[in-house]
Amino acid sequence: MSSAVPPPVPDLRAARADYDALVAKSPSLNLTRGKPSAAQLDLAAPMLSMPADQYLSADGTDVRNYQGLQGLPELRAIFSEVLDVPVEQLIAFGNSSLELMHDTLMHAMLTPLPGARRRWVDEPRIAFLAPVPGYDRHFALSERLGIELIPVPMTSNGPALDIVERLVADDPSIKGIWCVPKYSNPDGTVYSDETVRRLAAMPTAAPDFRIIWDNAYAVHHLTENPAQIADVLALATEAGHADRPFIFGSTSKITFAGGGVGFLGASPVNVAWWLKLAALRTIGPDKINHLRHALFLRDTDGLAEHMRRHRELLVPKFAAVRRVLTEHFADTPGVSWSNPAGGYFVTLTVPDGLASEVVRLAKAAGIALTPAGATHPYGKDPDDAIIRLAPTFPTLDEVENAMAGVAVCLRLALATR
């Protein structure tokens, strides 16, 4: 009886041959970050000539001068409806919602929040709940500030509320939860009305518990029937927790990613607390940029029309991702992917233990993917099963070529496990 090692199975040989051919092509493709493409940025090009010789806002404020810490009222009016925040409780500020989240948490570290017993920096432990898969920049910011992250699994309706409610009811060191409630990064989940209601009303051991409500994709729809989410600020107010939500949004993926406007909405008490502290570091935001945004977008109908044009550019790219994955893995056990109705990402789930290998193979072949684990706190996906795909920035041809390469890498990983 021969003791020779049997030859590789045909599927493995074919997978290796396909991978070798991919490497030989030396592609240089990138599906890492959810950035708008140049064609999307071109949609806002008219803003570059605004406000021309018009420097007065609707209330007569000269936007070239000091004052107006809360931001231009006419711009806040456009986004008030979008973010479900009354105009007088909405702040329009710098070019990024991430900087507003950073400042808010930093303020809480150094100055007691309304309802807090003391500064967070004086607490023996500060923890946040982190729905997973989630946004790596939320996690990185928490780590930077020494906030411990406690993973909570996502469901099709949002964070697993039974787990969330149990944790926050028993532990006063849990001070908050990260939430991307509409078209969540990266799986596209839309929080159900019941999820929002329970988050707003649940008892918490920490009197200064905060929901960081990052509504980054509020208007970034990929269908003609936009998803709707419940009004967390109104529900929290009704439940007696008006100070619980901090609501964030921005125009970063609406107009210019590097020259947009970030928004913060909250209760009147929270807004007053935040503005008092903001006044210590700035005289006010860039109101010229606020005015050009207000002139360009005009109103909520103008914003909706502008986002329709974004949708026309993005839908074919997301369709290409689905098409390639369906062609190759429709019946493959353990392989699945999200089909988001909005947002900027697709989540690819592979059999446990294979995500890192797929990313490694792709990198060696010239295709950059977000590191496996980026969707979890501390960069550690315990199942090593999730890969975040970002198809927005590359051209359609580049998306198709990159996804064809990802398919090759995943087939080889499956064949060699």
Q: What is the mean pLDDT of residues 168-184?
A: 97
- The answer to the question of residue 100 being in a domain is yes
Question: 265 to each of 90, 126, 231, how far by Cα in Å?
Answer: 4, 23, 12
Same domain, 286 and 321: no
The pLDDT assigned to 7 comes to: 43
Which tens digits make up the pLDDT trace of 8-57? 444 899 999 999 999 999 899 999 989 999 999 999 999 999 998 889 99
Q: Is residue 326 part of a domain?
A: yes
Query: Does position 107 have pLDDT exceeding 70, yes or no?
Result: yes
Q: Across residues 199-209, what is the average pLDDT?
A: 98
If asked whether residues 135 and 246 sit together in one domain, one would say yes
Of 264, 298, 332, the residue that ends a domain is 298
Would you say residue 220 lies in a domain? yes
On whether residue 47 sits in a domain, the answer given is no
Give pLDDT tens digits for 370-380.
999 999 999 99
30: enclosing H helix or E strand? strand 29-31
Q: Is residue 275 part of a domain?
A: yes
The pTM of the full predicted model, rounded to 2 decimals, is 0.94
CATH of the domain at 130: 3.40.640.10
Asked if residue 5 is part of any domain, the answer here is: no
Q: How far is CA 402 from CA 78, 225, 321, 405, in A?
A: 37, 29, 9, 5
| Judgement on whether residues 164 and 150 belong to the same structural domain of the protein | yes
**In a domain? residue 131:** yes
Give the domain range for residue 373: 10-41+303-416
Whether residues 275 and 260 fall in one domain? yes
Same-domain status, 241 and 316: no
CATH number of the domain that residue 333 is part of: 3.90.1150.10
Token digits of residue 331: 């019946």
Q: Please tell me the total count of domains within the chain.
A: 2
Tell which of 281, 298, 315 closes a domain: 298
Q: Would the pLDDT of 3 be above 50?
A: no
Residue 254 pLDDT: 97
Task: Based on the fold, state whether residues 104 and 231 are members of the same structural domain.
Answer: yes
Helices (H), 231-369: 232-238, 268-278, 287-297, 300-329, 355-365
In a domain, 4, yes or no: no
CA atoms within 13 A on the CB side of 86: 9
Residues 119 and 153 in one domain: yes
Q: Give the pLDDT confidence score for residue 54 in this predicted structure.
A: 86
Co-location of 87 and 219 in the same domain: yes
Domain boundary pick from 247, 268, 298: 298
| Residue 87 sits in the same domain as residue 162 | yes
Same-domain status, 122 and 205: yes
Model confidence at 222, pLDDT cuts 50, 70, 90, reads very high
Residues 294 and 312 in one domain: no
Same domain? 193 vs 309: no
In sign, the C-alpha dihedral spanning 43, 102, 86, 288 is negative
